[in-house]
Each structure stands twice: as structure tokens, then as C-alpha cells.
Amino acid sequence: MEEQVKEFYKMPLIGDLAPSFTATTTQGVINFPKDYEGKWVILFSHPADFTPVCTTEFMTFTRMLDEFKALNTELIGLSVDSLYAHIAWLRRINELEWNGMKNLDVTFPLIEDIKMDVANKFGMIQPGQSSTQAVRAVFVIDPKGVIRTILYYPLSTGRNFDEIKRIIQALQKADKDNVATPADWRPGDDVIVPTAGSCGTAKERMESKDDDTYCLDWFMCFKKEKR
């Protein structure tokens, strides 16, 4: 009897190009990353259709869809359920009311991944949690197809959607202005300028009279944001 050979995938890391795939979804076939060139993407997985935590998450993502689109960001969902289960579940979501949300049409694609092809490429199947369900993974992917953030939640814990949006805003700010964002940063807050790379630069910064920047020490300088 021939020994069955399993295909193993290395879980992609921050800074890696996101694995490419073609998949059937509730919005038709998508080719990633080709169909999303020039866009930020939130690719997220959920354990199963018709489950309560996942339902609250899909309702929240749908409510926030325009907010993400305003940030040039598209959503792609995934679970290992069938396309028909997806369709039935999304139709049921439209009939539910929770936390002030109702009559929600889920218009972003939800991947059918019964064979777990995409889930395995992204390390979404973790045997310590389940061998047949994806964990609550979130991959933030930039317009060049590079993975910039990875979040994992256990099956029992719903995601923090304000934080997912904040991550997109912080990454876009860092890319645009070549800065870093401090703890609990929100748009409009002061940002951190790159650390001085020489003694001369450190001295100049500490002695600078620039009204737009201030330093707590040579290695920790901030730029004021105009409000």
C-alpha cells in the first residue's frame, strides 16, 4: 500500500508575500492577489457558519464595510463550509437584529474552502483548536501583497473590530509619513519619528527648536500632528 503523502505549508509571516489563490466565493470567483492590486485587504477566517460568535462578527464587519472602503481596504472572509451553507447563513444574517444592527446585506466575498486549501496556506487550521475548523485569523495585506499584520483569536473570543480598523490606519500613516505610532495611537495623535542613527543627529534633535517636534530623550522624538 502506498503511503499517503501530506502536503505541509509554512505559515506565512509578517513581511512575506501573501500566498496566492483562486477561490469560489459568495461573490463569484476571486483571484488573489491579482483582483486586489492597489488595495489593502483584510483576509479573515471563522470557524463555521451558523455559529453565534461568527454571526456577530459578520454583522459588525458588514456595518463597518464603508469605513474600510474609505481606507482603500477590501474584506475577504473564509470558512471551511460549502458555498450553499454560506449563502443560507448570509441570508439568515439579513433577518437578524443584534446590537442595533439589522437588515444587513453581506456584500464582501466569503470563500468556500471545504478542502481547506486556502486555510492551510495561511495557517488557519490549528490542530490544538480543531482539525476541521479555521481559527479566527486576521491577515492585513498591503497593496503590494505583503502581509503587514497577523492576528489570531481562539474559537471562543470575538474580534475587536475597532483595533482592526486602527491597525489599517496606523500602517497607512506609517507608510505615508515614514513614522511609527505609539501605544494606543489614534488618527490625529502625535507620531514617533525614526530613531536617530548617529550621535550628531541625536544631538541636533535634542537641541532643535522646531515647534513641530519634541523629544523626551535622544531616542524618543515625536512629531506633532495638526488637528
Could you report the per-residue pLDDT of 19-34, keeping only the tens digit for each?
999 999 999 999 999 9
Q: Is the peptide bond before 12 cis (omega within 30 degrees of 0)?
A: no
Confidence of residue 80 (pLDDT cuts 50, 70, 90): confident
Domain ranges within the chain, ordered by starting residue:
21-159, 178-227
Return phi, psi of residue 210, to 5°: -65, 120
Name the binding residues for substrate.
136
Return phi, psi of residue 22, to 5°: -120, 130
Prediction pTM value = 0.90
Say yes or no: domain 178-227 is CATH 3.30.1020.10: yes
CA distances from 71 to 26, 131, 138, 222 (A): 23, 35, 17, 24
CA distances from 117 to 21, 121, 144 (A): 9, 6, 22
Return phi, psi of residue 160, to 5°: -95, 105
Contact 136/46 with Cβ under 8 angstroms? yes
* Residue range 21-159, CATH number: 3.40.30.10
pLDDT digits (tens, 9 = 90+) for 128-171: 555 456 678 999 999 999 999 999 988 889 999 999 999 999 99
Quickly count helices (H) and strands (E) in the chain: 6, 12
Contact 196/205 with Cβ under 8 angstroms? yes
54 is catalytic: yes
Name the binding residues.
136
- What's the grid cell of residue 98? 443584534
Choosing from 54, 199, 215, 221, which is the catalytic residue? Answer: 54
Q: Is the pLDDT of residue 182 over 50?
A: yes
Rounded distance between C-alpha atoms, residue 198 and residue 24, angstroms: 53
Rounded distance between C-alpha atoms, residue 131 and residue 121, angstroms: 14
Please indicate whether the domains covering 21-159 and 178-227 agree at the CATH topology level.
no
Q: Is the pLDDT of residue 216 over 60?
A: yes
Confidence of residue 127 (pLDDT cuts 50, 70, 90): low
Contact 118/78 with Cβ under 8 angstroms? yes
